[in-house]
Amino acid sequence: MTAFLALLRRDLVVASRNVGPLLMATLTQPVLVVLVFGNILPRLHLVADEFRTVMVPGLMSITMLMAGVQGVLMPLATDLSGSREVDERLLAPISVLGVAIQKVVAGAIHAAVAGLVALPAMMLLMHRVTGVEVHPRWGALLPLVVASGLLSAAFGLTLGTRVQPRFSGLLFAVVLGPLMLFGCAYYPWAALKVLGPVQYVFLVNPLVFMSEAMRVAVTPDVPHMPLPLLIGGLLAFMALFTILGARSFEKRTVF
């Protein structure tokens, strides 16, 4: 446990030294989307006012997904590079699984902080904009943010250990892009009922559960996924990606 906490501390200290660039990377996207879709387009009457309420939790979940994935993927690229910085971690008195889980926890903290910074930033931008119904339920928000953070970071571990760094551009275009568009970030899952059974196809996308989780926590008045399905989905994807990621991490580090 000592080694686990020390490694986590090291990651958080290094991250805190780069807090400026990290915040920029985290906030640029949601802030600009809010400006365009939450401010300009409604004024031009090109989108309905309700869209503002719908997109806030969705943007939170996208922010967390990106932060969690990048929070693991980027350091992992250095770790597994030719210089093998990861070997020092593996030589610390901690198991290989311990090192993998520490990576996920560090990425999850990264993601949770990103989500919790993005929410007030967006609320501030839309302050006094009519038709916005954002009422965070903090008691539900914190555990759901933590779960979403762990899910994103475990996903990052899976991608980072299975995709070569030179394909990371492709990864963002081909994997993360579609996930975001079909992740119920810009529309509630419940509303997809109009698509018939296709609604359930969306459930293969882990981001759907994160978006719905934020919807439950931040805009409880918007219709959302039933809680058992929501929590079950979050936990199942978290477990799946942690297992897949830890397994490939071991394959990449111990020969």
Partner 1 sequence: MRASPLVAVDDLVKVYPARGKQPAVQALRGLSFSVEPGEFFGLLGPNGAGKSTTLGCITTLVRPTSGRILVDGVDVARDPLQAKRRIAVVPQTRNLDRDLTVREVLTYHGRYFGLPAAEREARAERLMAELQVAEKADAKPLTLSGGMQQRVLIARALMHDPKVLLLDEPTTGLDPQARRLLWETLKALHQGGLTVILTTHYMEEADRLCQRLAIVDHGQILTLDTPAGLRKGLPGGQILDMWVRAERPLAPELEGLPGVMRIERVESHGDWEGLERLRLFVDPGDGLLDRVLHVVRDGGADLRHLSLNAPSLEDVYIHLTGKELRE
Kindly tell me which of 4 and 182 has the beta carbon lying closer to partner 1. Answer: 4
| Smallest separation (angstroms) from partner 1 to the CB of 86 | 8
Piece of 43-51, 92-100, 112-120, 160-168 that binds partner 1 (CB under 8 A)? 92-100
Kindly tell me which of 92 and 203 has the beta carbon lying closer to partner 1. Answer: 92
* Torsion sign across C-alpha atoms 253, 5, 119, 191: positive
| Residue 148 · residue 115 · CB < 8 Å | yes
DSSP annotation of 73 reads H
Q: Is residue 130 at the binding interface for partner 1, with CB under 8 A as the rule?
A: no
CB atoms within 10 A of CB 203: 15
Q: Is residue 238 at the binding interface for partner 1, with CB under 8 A as the rule?
A: no
Piece of 85-93, 138-146, 150-158, 181-189 that binds partner 1 (CB under 8 A)? 85-93
3-state secondary structure of 75: helix
| Residue 211 · residue 61 · CB < 8 Å | yes
Kindly tell me which of 28 and 95 has the beta carbon lying closer to partner 1. Answer: 95
DSSP annotation of 128 reads T
Report the residue from 31, 55, 66, 94 that binds partner 1 according to the rule CB under 8 A.
94
| Smallest separation (angstroms) from partner 1 to the CB of 242 | 21
Kindly tell me which of 5 and 170 has the beta carbon lying closer to partner 1. Answer: 5
Report the residue from 9, 135, 137, 193 that binds partner 1 according to the rule CB under 8 A.
9
Q: Is residue 8 at the binding interface for partner 1, with CB under 8 A as the rule?
A: no
CB atoms within 10 A of CB 46: 10
Q: How far apart are CA 109 and CA 149, in angstroms?
A: 7
CB atoms within 10 A of CB 168: 16
Q: Is residue 95 at the binding interface for partner 1, with CB under 8 A as the rule?
A: yes
What lies within 8 Å, CB to CB, of 54 at 6+ separation is 186, 187, 188, 219, 222
Q: Is residue 161 at the binding interface for partner 1, with CB under 8 A as the rule?
A: no
| Residue 18 · residue 26 · CB < 8 Å | no
Report the residue from 24, 91, 194, 204 that binds partner 1 according to the rule CB under 8 A.
91
Q: Please give the residue ranges that form the binding site for partner 1 (CB under 8 A).
A: 2-3, 6-7, 9-10, 14, 17, 78, 82-85, 87-95, 253-255
